Chains A and B, each alone.
Chain A
Amino acid sequence: MNNEQLKEKIQSIDSTINIVEGKQYLELNVVAENLSKTALMLKNNADLSFDYLICLTGNDLPDAYSVVYHLESTKHNHLVVLKVKADSRENPVLDTVSNIWITADFHEREVYDLIGITFTNHPDMRRIFLDEEDWIGYPLRKDYTDNNIITR
């Protein structure tokens, strides 16, 4: 399906998803509480079948912590970007998608490690790179400070 058809199809299934034509791909914006529902729909719908999670990125945006999912269908060869923002800035929490795409297991641990978003129902929510016991803070946050960071 091309972007136009994809947009129509997704809109017909769930009209609450805010669809934006991005620079490269179609971008689906969902609210945090609908994340698992939408992700499950994207994977299981026969016409969409987004079975391959390419990339999962955590962002520290000025207004909220967000996660970006790049999804591809190996059957239909189309691609969308799913975006979600965590509700709270003090304690960002999102639902896990590792039960839908297993590869998200490691990627979500990385986001937890470096951005500090907690994923509920994740089987193993620990830091993946940094030391669980003595590392303070989340390095990819914009307000993270460290004496060793070179500033200009």
Chain B
Amino acid sequence: MENIITNNSIQQEEYIVNMGPQHPSTHGVLRLKISLKGETVENIEPHCGYIHRGIEKMCERLTYQQIIHLTDRLDYLSAHTNNEAVCLLVENALQIEVPERVKYIRTILDELTRLASHQLWWCAFGMDLGALTTYFYGLRDREKILDIFEETTGARLLQSFNVPGGLMNDIHPNFIGRVKEFITYFRKKLPEYDELLTGNVILKERTTDIGLLTLEEAINYGVTGPSGRASGFACDVRKHHPYSAYDKVEFKEILYTKGDSFHRYKARVEEMWESMKILEQLIDNIPEGDYAVKMKPIIKLPEGEYYQRVEAARGEFGVYVLSTGEKYPYRVKFRSPNFSNLSAINKLGAGHKIADLVAIGGSLDLVIPDIDR
């Protein structure tokens, strides 16, 4: 026994441990191959592809209307935003101006999506760090948004409510009332989130100075969304390249400079307040009008290349389409925020303890289908 403990070679040996693909803290089927020295992480090598479905290849045999339904299945928590990217791309390529009403409703649904996504992230992040109560608080409030979605779009998670030229349907008569009701409700509930988790000593100890990412690194790795903004990377597409009704609303781009897990946490909580501000500015002012412009049943984009960027809940989502003028695109590429965010995980995690890796992974808010596509 004594021999084993004093044997130097055992202490210095490098261990390879697989975290995932069935590990609860990876939030999906992602495998991280971790080299450990004692309890300290030396190197992290992500292995993706467990749910690679070849969506980009499938898109080459689908019409633009059909592609929208596949974008839901990338980042399923930003389904509405992803739909919108394809619709905006088609509309811009064909130079179609959608009615103001559509722009307003799209923006409202975008922000509701962002809120729902951040709520789910918040409760899962708490649970990653051992605070089980957060899960019930978060899901309780998210349920109210999903009910609003269900009533208007007919689906709770994968809405596919946007179509090229507008929306699938007009909003439900109850929509405006229920959104307002929700804002009043959630303005009271969001401070509870802070009371429960933000000021918590355990959370602060486990996230402060864990997983530091500087501004230069964030830009170099292409880390966008709240994760990038926590490092000071001003990358909010809504602010810098406004689409839909984002040029008509006032909101603050949440920027922090430190770039540790705690500030990535703070950035998302603060973003929920900003989302509610945007909702309040729009909900009373939805203009009257059509919910869609009439489109031809077969959409053919003029020959050329197109790129459309939107701000999904986790960062910049981009669609690249190469068209040859046919009704099917020649090539579709999705620039998914999580894929680029994941590439920084070795930089963030190396040198920390293995338990901190759970906090870092949670603070990046990865959604695996978006990585694998």
Task: Give the residues from 111 to 150 in chain A that come closer than 8 angstroms, CB to CB, to chain B.
Answer: 114, 128-131, 139-140, 149-150
State in angstroms the CA–CA spacing of A34 and B54 once bound together: 32
Contact A55 B320 (CB under 8 A): yes
Contact of B61 among A55, A77, A152 (CB under 8 A): A152
Query: Are the C-beta atoms of A103 and B234 separated by less than 8 Å?
Result: no
Could you mark each residue 69-101 of chain A with 1 if its beta carbon is under 8 Å from any beta carbon of chain B, else 0?
010001001000100000000000000000001
> How many pairs of residues, A versus B, come closer than 8 Å at their CB atoms?
83
Name the distance in Å between A77's Cβ and chain B's nearest Cβ: 7
Whether B250 is near chain A, meaning CB under 8 Å from some CB there, is no
**Contact between A129 and B48 (Cβ–Cβ < 8 Å)?**
yes
The size bracket of the interface on B is: 20 to 34
Contact A139 B306 (CB under 8 A): no
Query: In the complex, A140→B309 CA distance in Å?
Result: 23
When distances are taken between beta carbons in the complex, the residues of chain A under 8 Å from B219 are: 51-52, 74
The tally of residues in A whose CB lies under 8 Å from a CB in B reads 35
Residues of A within 8 A of B56 (CB): 114, 140
Inter-chain contacts of B221 with A (CB < 8 A): 102-103
Residues of A within 8 A of B (CB): 22-25, 51-55, 57, 59-60, 68, 70, 74, 77, 81, 101-103, 105-107, 110, 114, 128-131, 139-140, 149-152
Give the residue name and chain of the B residue nearest to A113 (CB): B49
Task: Report the bound CA distance from A49 to B222 in whole Å.
Answer: 15
Whether B318 contacts A54 by the Cβ 8 Å rule is: yes
B247 within 8 A of A: no
Partner among B220, B240, B307, B318 whose Cβ is within 8 Å of the Cβ of A101: B220
Picked from B52, B320, B339, B372, the residue with its CB within 8 Å of the CB of A106 is B339
Which of A55, A60, A107 has the most chain B CB atoms inside 10 A of its CB? A55
A55 partner, pick from B52, B331, B335, B372, beta carbons under 8 A: B335
- A52-B235, A74-B233, A102-B217 given; name 19 further pairs at CB < 8 Å: A24-B306, A25-B307, A52-B222, A54-B222, A54-B309, A54-B316, A54-B318, A55-B335, A59-B322, A68-B305, A70-B318, A74-B234, A77-B240, A101-B222, A103-B220, A103-B340, A103-B343, A114-B56, A140-B57
Answer whether A128 and B318 are a contact pair too, CB < 8 Å, given A55-B307, A106-B342: no
Are B222 and A103 within 8 A (Cβ)? yes
- A24, A59, A77, A102: the one contacting B343 at CB < 8 Å is A102
The prevalent SS among residues of A at the interface is loop
Contact call A57/B331, Cβ cutoff below 8 A = yes
Task: Check if B325 is an interface residue, CB within 8 A of chain A.
Answer: no
In the A-B complex, the 10 residue pairs with the closest CB atoms: A129-B49, A103-B222, A55-B335, A129-B52, A57-B333, A106-B343, A102-B220, A23-B304, A103-B221, A52-B219
Q: Tell me how far the C-beta of B361 lies from the nearest C-beta in chain A, rounded to whole angstroms.
A: 16
Query: Once the chains bind, are A130 and B49 in contact (CB under 8 Å)?
Result: yes
Contact partners of B93 in chain A: CB under 8 A: 23
Check A22 against B304 for contact (C-beta < 8 Å): yes
Residue of B nearest to A110 (CB): B339
Residues of B within 8 A of A151 (CB): 61
Task: Write out the residue numbers on chain A whose beta carbons fall within 8 Å of the beta carbon of B304.
Answer: 22-23
Q: Are B48 and A51 in contact (CB under 8 A)?
A: no
Could you tell me which residues of chain B, from 264 to 320, have a CB within 8 Å of some CB in chain A?
Answer: 304-307, 309, 316, 318, 320
Task: Write the B89-117 contact mask toward A (1 if CB under 8 angstroms, else 0).
Answer: 00001000000000000000000000000
Q: Mark B206-222, 1 if CB is under 8 A from A, else 0.
A: 00000000000101111
Question: Which of A74, A77, A105: most chain B CB closer than 10 A?
Answer: A74
User: In the bound complex, how far is the Cα of B124 from the Cα of A117, in angstroms?
Assistant: 39
Chain B nearest CB, measured from A73 CB (Å): 10
* Interchain nearest-CB distance for A71 vs B (Å): 11
| Bound CA–CA A103/B221 (angstroms) | 4
